[in-house]
Amino acid sequence: MTTMTEADRAERDAAIRAILPLVPAMGWTRRAIAAGLEDAGLPPEDTAFLFPRGAVSAVEAWLDLADRDMAEAAGELSDLRTPDRIRLLIATRLRQAAPHRDAVRQALALLALPWNAGIGLRSAARTTSAMWYAAGDRSADFSWYTRRASLGAVYAATLAFWLRDESDDIGPTLDFLDRRLADLARLGRCRRKAPAARAA
């Protein structure tokens, strides 16, 4: 398999940014990919290398780009508490996705197909890992897995709510997110208290 260089990734990012406005009308399709490459000034033969599995590769590339855009836009977070860092990262991700809500909806539908389940799970895991990394988490023990699993559930629920949120801003979605984060914090406190209660 050919390794993608930084220059290749930059080309792929440019193609994705050109494809996104076409998705509402064309869907995540090879036709949209071909038109996006043309709009980005890239030769059509680049399709096989940049998006070897067609539409699903384009979706996976978009999610990777969105992970990087989110971390860059969030900036320095060291002055915030960890829950506030996570909240800001999710809010940033959703605000960046707002102009492409239909593309998000179509991407989720594509990844929900049984034969794309592995790619969907891998992309979701990469996004939650990107969020934790941007939030400053450098754990290497079992908590690395539990934190990402917990955040994955919170983000998935928040994303589903956001797709139904018809407000002019994302205020209701952030309220929903705050409740999920509060639930997660309560669960964490209960888990920490349980060993102490058993030892008493």
pLDDT band for position 196 (50/70/90)? very low
pLDDT band for position 2 (50/70/90)? low
Indicate whether 65 pLDDT > 70: yes
Which domains does the chain carry?
A: 6-194 (1.10.357.10)
Please give the pLDDT value at position 187. Answer: 59
Please give the pLDDT value at position 25. Answer: 96
3-state secondary structure the chain: CCCCCHHHHHHHHHHHHHHHHHHHHHCCCHHHHHHHHHHCCCCHHHHHHHCCCCHHHHHHHHHHHHHHHHHHHHCCCCCCCHHHHHHHHHHHHHHHHHHHHHHHHHHHHHHCCHHHHHHHHHHHHHHHHHHHHHCCCCCCCCHHHHHHHHHHHHHHHHHHHHHHCCCCCCHHHHHHHHHHHHHHHHHHHHHHHHHHHHHC
Please give the pLDDT value at position 189. Answer: 57
* Residue range 23-53, pLDDT digits in tens: 999 999 999 999 999 999 999 999 999 999 9
> Average per-residue pLDDT in the chain?
90
* Residue range 131-178, pLDDT digits in tens: 999 998 887 776 777 888 899 999 999 999 999 998 888 999 999 999
Please give the pLDDT value at position 47. Answer: 94
- When pLDDT is averaged across residues 61-70 and rounded to a whole number, the result is 97
Please give the pLDDT value at position 181. Answer: 92
Please give the pLDDT value at position 188. Answer: 52
